[in-house]
Amino acid sequence: MGVIDINLNGDKKKRIRRSKIDITVAILKITKGGANKTRIVYGANLNFVLAGKYLDFLGKNGFIESTNPKTHYQITDKGREFLDKVQEIMIE
């Protein structure tokens, strides 16, 4: 799980853990228009090692594809379906 630091009242920070689903959704949203690993790392607020693990997992399961080997990632139709269903559940 990823951890985000949120500033509350100036100096106090609260650490919030994100679920694997939250991180997956963030990556899938970023790859809608195509993205390189650096863009995914900064957009999803991950480090490169963790981003690599998620990209490998999402690629092996058909949610994203790499148009140039390991440099540019694009969401697939299966990834779009998953993203739509997850967002639908989160709204309810």
Helices 20-30 and 77-91: crossing angle in degrees, nearest 10, is 130
Domains in the chain, please, with CATH?
A: 20-91 (1.10.10.10)
Place 91 in a pLDDT band, splitting at 50, 70 and 90: confident
% of the chain beyond a pLDDT of 90: 71
Least confident residue range of 13-27, 52-66, 76-90: 13-27
- DSSP-based three-state secondary structure for 8: strand
pLDDT at 4: 56
**pTM of the entire predicted model:** 0.80
pLDDT at 36: 95
Q: How far apart are CA 47 and CA 34, in angstroms?
A: 19
Task: Please report, as a single letter, which amino acid is at residue 32.
Answer: K
